[in-house]
A = this chain, B = another copy of it.
């Protein structure tokens, strides 16, 4: 207590997606998921519990925040205070090295860093499994950002049994994600709202749950066998399935815009030229291109030639949580 703790957590991008909860309060998902933690995008968060404070104080990227992000953070800290048996409010300073709310998973790194920093600042000494369970309560995908490399979030049935664990922290495969940002504006439909609507109304939802379990097994095989092509094909198929749930919701919605489709079609053209490149998309219009280092230049050039305004960043496998 009364000491400042700083933690760093990296974002992760799901190769087998999380898209729906069977318990909204505890954030227990309908499916297990599997992700790759990235080195490029991360959040640094410092937490300091102070008996003098009259409420939690949140500074995000050097700006004091008073909106619903503060409410969500305070509700999360209530869990930590309850676990640690303390009552003090906290000062939270968070610096986000991720474009916020554009489908690049800033909430994953954000809540993972907050879970690590706040629990330690509150005097708790959680192991990584319990940190993952805690991070999950802030944002489902944050459970995976506790670990580096390939990480599985086991859906489980309740708070105790729903957590992430590492599949391969030191990635042996040559794999990277080229993130193509064409639209950095916040998403219109939050992922929480989007996934609940898909569960409730897409006729394909139950099939997706069953198919996702099959994809997950195949994905683990691909990782074990260092089979990049199988991993890429599975990831793209799984992502398109998830987005098809949104296309078939009533009423339909989509995170795609025209450029999302243009980039998907460009990636298909690249594959026809023999370049191994696969797409994955989350709750935003931007595309992450799963690829290998030897193809960086040819893919980047193809993107820049077709989309001069695109911001392309290259992310490699990244580490799990650390304290600074």
Contacts and interface: CB of A to CB of B under 8 A. Distances in A.
Nearest to A237: B250
Q: How would you classify the secondary structure of chain A's contact residues: helix, strand, loop or mixed?
A: helix
A228 interface: no
Contact of A237 (B233, B252, B256, B257): B252
Contacts of A243: 247
Interface in A214-259: 233, 236-237, 240-241, 243-244, 247-248, 250-254, 256-259
A59 interface: no
A206 B206 CA distance: 12
A203 B214 CA distance: 11
Nearest to A204: B204
Contacts of A206: 207
A256 B240 CA distance: 14
Contacts of A211: 203
Contacts of A261: 254, 256-258, 260-261
Contacts of A259: 258
B257 A204 contact: no
A283 to B, nearest CB: 16
Among A211, A258, A265, the one with the most B-chain Cβ atoms within 10 Å of its Cβ is A258
Interface string A257-286: 111111011001000000000000000000
Contact of A247 (B207, B208, B247, B251): B247
Given A207-B203, A207-B204, A207-B207, A248 B258 contact: no
Contacts of A252: 236-237, 240
21 contacts: A203-B208, A203-B211, A204-B207, A204-B241, A204-B244, A206-B207, A233-B251, A237-B250, A237-B252, A240-B248, A244-B247, A244-B248, A247-B247, A253-B268, A257-B258, A257-B262, A258-B259, A258-B262, A258-B265, A260-B261, A261-B261
